[in-house]
Every structure is written in C-alpha cells, then in structure tokens.
Structure 1
Amino acid sequence: MNPRQDSAGPGAELDDAALLRYSRHILLDEIGIEGQQRLLAARALVIGAGGLGSPAALYLAASGVGQITLVDDDEVDLTNLQRQIMHGTASVGRPKVESGRAALLALNPGVAVRALRERAAGARLAQLVAGADVVLDCCDNFATRHAVNRACVAGRVPLVSGAAIRFDGQLAVFDPRQPGSPCYCCLFPEGAGFKDAACASMGVFAPLVGVVGAMQAAEALKLLLGVGRPLAGRLLLLDARAMEWTSIGVARDPACAVCGSAT
C-alpha cells in the first residue's frame, strides 16, 4: 500500500546523506530508492510511548518514516526504565512524548516527530487516525484499544496491535481496507469481561516488549511499503519462557458491533 497522496514527510527526495543512511534498505529489492522515498513520505501514529511504543517508534524513525506522531499523557517514572528504552534516567519526571521526541530526533534528525501529551479520544482521536497512513496501538488498556480500533475502522486505516505482560506477548494486524478482514473487536469484543493487566502489579520481562514492539514496527513498515504478507487475519502469541510462537487464524465476526456492517 502506498501512503496517501497528500502525505508530505520531510526530505522525501534522497540526498547523498540519505542515500548513505538508508543504503541497507535501498539494497533490498523489495524496497529500493522508490520504497525508501515512500517511507519518507509516510505518516505513522503511535498510541503509547512506553514499553511497546519505545522500540516501535525507534525503528520507525531509524527506517526513515517521515512523520511520526507520539500520543501519551504519562510521565517517565523510574520503574519504566527497566523496559521503556526510549527514555533514560535524565528523563524521569518528563512527559514521555517529549522524552520520546528527543530520542527519536537524536537517532534521526531527518524525520518529523509530533509529541502530543494527551489521551486522545472521540473526535480528536478520529482526526489523528485520519491523518495517518498506519496506526500502531502500543497502549496498555482495553478502553483505549477499542477506541483506536473504532477510529481505524471508521477511517479505513490499518492498525498494528501489540501487547505484552509477564512473559507473554501478542501481535496482530487489522486492515479495514481488506474485504473480510477482522477488527480488534472481532477478537476481543467489548463487554466480554476481558480485564486489563498492569505491569505495575503483574510484572513484565524487559526484552519481551522489545520483541513485540520491533515486530509492530516491521508490520507497519510492510504495510507502508506494500511488501510481504501482512499479519492481517492472524494473531501471533509468544511464550517467551519457551520462546515459542503460536499463530491463530482470526475470522471476521459478522455480528461485530464495530465492523460487522462494514463493507
């Protein structure tokens, strides 16, 4: 899939420095110069600048995604530093989006980073989703996940969803542009009794969020480039204790309250 035609990431033309920076991408037949220019013109929305959002956003920036919007209303806490690699000790007490923006620009000053310290919802969330080519759900609660899913279905924007707790991770892609593709609500219906599990009470294995977040970035990049087989229609589950992946097919629910009547 190509980013929308009105996308305008900074520096979409590759100068000598950019050709060198992204040379290992350009060497890939599936990407090349045209694909790298596509990334530079792309817009990614990252909901959550914590454990999953950190590696996901860092890889998006390193890969040259032209505009990255970080949305999070939290501040950096000392307990975050065990796994949230976008933040350092000096960032404790700072808004996560400001700390994250500084980290992304330090990694790659050639991308544009918007830092939004807020918990986006309703019309505001719909506006942010409508301005993105891909959305990465890196949050930690079901209410936000369902709100993001509803906005993505309404705006027909692909969603890359990740989660991690204890030693267990999961990854899925929901692409409302594809006929028959399920949405997040098909998999986890609202009101079905699913409960949030907080790292503060349950704990989380530090590298696990890195693995899942990096894979979210990989799926987002594939969607932006139109290469490979996206994860849509499948749920990947990771048991990090045994380092075993399980892939489960996910079908669209015709009775889904969010996408059941979509065409």
Structure 2
Amino acid sequence: MRTSALVEPGPPLTREQVQRYSRHLLLGQLGDAGQRRLLAARVLVMGAGGLGSPVLQYLAAAGVGHLTVVDDDVVDASNLQRQVIHSTADVGRPKVESAAEHIGALNPDVEVTGRHVRLDAANARDLLAGHDLVIDGTDNFPTRYLVNDVCAELGIPLVWGSILRFDAQVSVFWSRPDGETPGVTLRDLFPTPPPEGTTPSCGQAGVLGAMCGQVGSIMAAEAVKLITGAGEPLLGRVLVLDVLGARWSELPVRPRPGTPAPPTTPEELGYDPAPGTAPGGPTDGGGAPLPAISVRALAERLGARARGADDFILLDVREVPERGIVTIPGAVSVPLAEVLADPEGVVHRLDLGRPGGVARELLVHCRSGQRSAQAVHALSDAGARAVNVEGGVLAWVADVDPTLPTY
C-alpha cells in the first residue's frame, strides 16, 4: 500500500549536501525532493539499544534533519555485543549522550535531542508530539504498548520491531483520523501485552547481535520510505525473520472489528509503563509484600549454613545457559517453567522437611528478582516456606561479589 510523503521538502541542498547525499539523489524514487524531505524530518527513536543503534546510524547517515533519542539507561559492558552505536569507553554513560555524540560525529547536518528519561503515561504525549514519525526499538511490553497507544491517539506513524534469540518481527502501524490510512496498530496484531513474566527478555534469553543490524536496517528503510513517499511501507504486513533458517516470511495484519479505542490514560492503560517499578515491590497477590531477603543477608546465612548453624535451600530458577555465566554458590537449579508447571512436585523433589516437623526455608533467586517472585507465589501455594531473594544475581554481584560477571 503506497502512502503520500510524510514531510514537505525543505530548503534547496547546498553544494556540500549534494556531494554527501549524491547516492540518494541518483535514486529516482528519492532524488532531490526526497533528500530535502529527509533533512526536514523530525523522527523520534525509542531506545538507543540493539535496534536503536543501527536505526540511529542509518537515519543520521541518510540526513534525517532532527533525531530525538529517548532512553533512560546507561551503557553496560553486556550491551556492546549488539548495541554498536556505543563503545567500550562509553560504559557507564547515559546511552542518549553516547548516541548523540556518535551521531554528531557521523553527520553534522543532523540535530540530535537526547532525552534521558523513562517514558511513562504522564510524559508520553509531550515526548512524542511534534514528530513526523516514531520508531520503537524498546525491549519491554509496557513501553511498546504505551508508545503504540499514544501514536494511535496522535496519528503518528510507528515503525515497530521486536527481537529475541534468533527471531524478529518488523511492521508499520498507523492510525490516522482522516481515514486515508487503515487504522492498524500493535493491538490489531497482539491485542494485549502477555502476562508479566511469561515472555523472557533479552537479558534472560539472549539475542544474536548481528540480527539487530538486519532488523534495524529494515526499520530505518521503512522510515525513509514513509518520510519520502517512496515504495510501499509495511502497513498491514509483518515481516518475520528466522535468522537460523535464513528466511524472511510475511503475515498480513488487518484491523480487528469492534476493537475499542486504545487506552491512553494511566487508569485505562491498566499497567505500569515503567516495568519493575511497582510501588512496594512484589506482593503475594492479595496486596501483602512477598517474604524477601536481601543478598547481604543471604551471604551471611550461606556462611552460617556452611558452619552448620543454619538450614535452608537456595533455589535458582534461571535457565541453564544463564547459570553458565554466573551463579550464587550453593544454589540448586530448577528453571521457572518447571516450577510453574508442577510446584508440588518441585517441593517434593527438594525434600524440604527436617527433624521436628518444621519445613526448611526455600530461598529463591533469579537474575533480578522478578522470576523468583513468580516462583515464590507458586511454591508458597504448594506449601513451601518460600522467600524471594531481592535483586537476584544482579544484586549479588553489585553488593556481595563484584568480581563476578553480569549479563
């Protein structure tokens, strides 16, 4: 489906710009007018990570005149395997600062605005408004749905991409009030976010770094097409990549009949767009805080257990490949999927009984404390005295043993 160009052409090109963008000028579908549209465009990129890195680099090289980068994170060494806009020297810096510096060095024609903030329901409209196009390269469902819903409300086209392990998806969503473009949004593809914890993050499951370049390049190309009106964008279509099989496939996406208007207020959204920041931490389902222990207290109890002065089981519910990177000493391993599938069986297998009839405590950890909270819910319902280790392996490395790696 062809669409008209999003942006009107800007001023005539200078001699230097003609030289810089000459390979675009040779393309009949872009040409002089298309390049002037790119230079006049305002594009917001959500996330300066695995997908945002190639998107930002190719849009800057293409001469998109104004790029806004929204990301509240800082560069970590584990990012460098795929987030190629950053370097080793940037570790510890806000990603928006590192990205802006790289873009400035790549193309002085591009004005960059870095917003080192977490997108939420209170600031999303102000951040997204005034842009011709939004590109979503974020890695969590609440933010993806919030971006989608606000773009639908404001009528801003959204280039969307998602990656995990060896698989990826790319599409364009656009809901325009004038009816010129069919109102296809992320909710027509996936009506609601999956339940929290049911889909692993890249930090839990991994991702092939080179695939980020493949997918990010497609997203950048879609942005160029929308801005200039060249070709047919991925409206109403989803590209699906199986990188192990080296196959791209395509699926249609159509508006769902009777779908209500997207939620736009915090109350309507029904979820916290800043994942992992629920007030008070995990609860037992009835609002009471889950039993929890800090990693420092865990370290003391592990020492006491080694001396025979304490008795408990430390359970690691991460996946086996994660344990190959880093472990907390003395833990036994049962992945979360097994715990949730048969918590009573896991309780029986761990043999939590002890003389006197008082069950041993079961201290449960994962990478950050979210999956272990799910396990504590299930194991407690199955009769265990389960306690969540706050912050998981990340907290252990930060507060107990900084010599260990993180991921």
TM-score range normalised by the length of the shorter chain = over 0.9
Alpha-carbon distance between aligned partners in 2 of 1:120 and 1:4, rounded to the nearest angstrom: 25
Which residue number corresponds to residue 163 of structure 2?
A: 164
Match of 1:248 in 2: 251
Which structure is richer in relative contact order (CA contacts within 8 A, separation 6 or more)? 1
Q: How does 1:192-207 map to 2 (within 5 A)?
A: 192-193=194-195, 195-207=198-210
* 1:83 correspondence with 2:85: no
Is structure 2 residue 33 aligned with structure 1 residue 34?
yes
* Cα contact 1:3–1:41 (8 A) shared by 2: no
Once the 2 structures are TM-superposed, how far is the Cα of residue 205 of structure 1 from its aligned partner?
0.5
- Tell me the equivalent position of 2:182: 180
**Equivalent residues of 1:141, 1:196 under 8 A apart:** no
Corresponding residue number in structure 2 for 1:221: 224
Q: Which residue of 2 aligns with 1:15?
A: 14
Which structure would you say has the larger Rg? 2
**What is the 5 A alignment of 1:98-247?**
98-177=97-176, 178-193=180-195, 195-247=198-250
Give the letter aligned to residue 91 of structure 1: D
SS in 2 for 1:122: coil
Residue identity matched to 2:228: L
- Displacement of 1:256 after TM fit? 2.4
> Equivalent residue of 2:123, what SS?
helix
**Higher mean displacement: 112-121 or 67-76:** 112-121
Q: Which runs of 5+ in 2 are unaligned?
A: 264-407
- Compute the TM-score of the two structures, normalised by the length of structure 1: 0.92
Secondary structure of 1:153 counterpart = helix
Q: CA RMSD in A?
A: 1.8
8 Å CA contact 2:7–2:228 kept in 1: the answer is no
Query: Deviation per CA, 1:19-53, whole angstroms, max 9, x where unpaired?
Result: 00000001100111111011000000000110000
Deviation, 1:130, is 1.9
Counterpart Cα distance in 2 of 1:191 and 1:152: 17
Cα distance in structure 1, aligned partners of 2:170 and 2:149: 18
SS at match of 1:121: coil
Q: Please say if residues 73 and 94 of structure 2, whose CA atoms lie closer than 8 Å, have aligned partners that are also in contact.
A: yes
Q: Report the CA distance shift for 1:141/1:239 in structure 2 as closer, same or farther (over 3 A).
A: same
Choose from 1, 5, 26 the match for 1:2.
5
Q: Which amino acid aligns with 1:185?
A: R
1:56-95 equivalences in 2 (<5 Å) = 56-95=55-94
Q: Which residue of 1 aligns with 2:42?
A: 43
The runs of at least 4 consecutive aligned structure 1 residues that moved more than 6 Å come to: none
Q: Deviations over 1:132-161 (max 9, x none)?
A: 111000000110011001111011010000
User: Any idea what the Cα deviations from partners look like across 1:105-139, whole Å, max 9, x if unmatched?
Assistant: 11111110000001122242112222111100000
**Cα distance in 1, alignment partners of residues 153 and 96 from structure 2:** 26
Cα deviation for residue 4 of structure 1 reads 5.1
Pick which of 188-197 and 219-228 moved more. Answer: 188-197
Give identity over the alignment, percent. 46
Letter in 2 for 1:247: E
Q: How many residue pairs end up in the alignment?
A: 256
Q: Extract unaligned runs of 5+ from structure 1.
A: none
Residue pair 1:137, 1:160 contacting (<8 A) in 2 also: yes
In structure 2, relative to structure 1, the CA distance for the partners of 1:191 and 1:257 (3 Å cut) is farther
- CA–CA distance in 2 between the matches of 1:28 and 1:191? 40
TM-score (norm 2): 0.60
